[in-house]
Amino acid sequence: MGYFAQFQIFVLYKMIDIKHLDFSYGNCDVLHDVSAQVRAGDFLAIIGPNGSGKSTLIKCIAGILNVKSGAILIDGKPSCNYPINQLAQTVAYIPQTEKGDLQSLVFDTVLAGRKPYIRWKPSEDDYSKVADVLHQLGIEHLSMRYVNELSGGQQQTVMIARALAQQTKILLLDEPTANLDLRHQLEIMNLLKILSFNGLTIVMSLHDINLAIRYASHVLMLKDGGVLAYESVDNVTRTHIENLYNIKVEMITNGVTLYCVPLGVDA
């Protein structure tokens, strides 16, 4: 069975439930009273100005940062109650800047995603799952290449493959299209859309409002650490965007896709 096949059944229950979340770095408040519910199979884009708390919220959901108050429930269970390995089998996280060893082979890098399941050494099943993910993403021909030899888009695809090898229900990404050219941005977003369509719950922070509207199912708008709006992409309006970024915009459509065109900065 291919990797994607396991996600064919949609269950519309709350996969992530954020309740009145507060977070601060020391005396600097970053998030305040953030609440949102993400259903299984949703593709949520967190958008907002620089410093609005997007990356911080992603790290809180991933369990990297401990919340000041409030709660985050993952698959119905408080995230703080998960043993490390169990959380790693439920949530995969891809940072904006990969700090891992990019001089390793692609196959070994993706195999690292099996760490939550490996006891003494990788099993035949672990190797098989890695090979399956590489095949499903169409990068098996890169398996014996070193990651640092690849293009930015290929490297990002390898990081997604590593996360998929974890076999989690949730995929978190911090600015997955940062530093990619337009073609590779579209390739990565198309891949994430396919994964979401097949039932994987995806939450990502994103700067590009047009990518968010085109690919995500929902957007969470953060401003000054709080929730300005949480909407289906079909309900995003010009007023939302203008209030979020303090700019004037025009919303246009080609009959299929909605686009946001910046017109100017508010005085």
> 230-251, pLDDT tens digit by residue?
999 999 999 999 999 999 999 9
Q: Can you state the angle between helices 152-165 and 182-197, rounded to 10 degrees?
A: 20
The per-residue pLDDT for range 36-63, each reduced to its tens digit, is 999 999 999 999 999 999 999 999 999 9
CB 43 within 8 A of CB 202: yes
3 with 80, same domain: the answer is: yes
Q: Show the beta-strand stretches assigned E in 77-185.
A: 77-78, 91-94, 170-174
74 with 7, same domain: the answer is: yes
Distance between alpha carbon 71 and the CA centroid of its chain, in Å? Answer: 20
**Tokens representing residue 134 in the block:** 């590489």
Whole-model pTM? Answer: 0.90
Is 246 among the domain residues?
no
Output the pLDDT for position 1: 43
pLDDT bracket for residue 101 (50, 70, 90):
low
Helix (H, G, I), strand (E, B) or coil at 21: strand
pLDDT bracket for residue 98 (50, 70, 90):
low
Is 48 among the domain residues?
yes
Determine the structural domain holding residue 50 and report its residue range: 1-90+168-236
Distance CA 42, CA 58 (A): 15
Output the pLDDT for position 257: 82
DSSP state of 117: T
Q: Which distant-in-sequence residues (6+ apart) come within 8 Å of 96 by Cβ?
A: 55, 174, 175, 176, 178, 205
The per-residue pLDDT for range 189-201, each reduced to its tens digit, is 999 999 999 889 9
Output the pLDDT for position 265: 77
9 with 86, same domain: the answer is: yes
128 with 104, same domain: the answer is: yes
Is 60 among the domain residues?
yes
Is 205 among the domain residues?
yes
Among residues 117, 135, 167, the one where a domain terminates is: 167
| Average pLDDT of every residue of the chain | 89
23 with 85, same domain: the answer is: yes
Is 211 among the domain residues?
yes
Number of residues assigned to the chain = 267
How many structural domains is the chain composed of? 2
114 with 6, same domain: the answer is: no
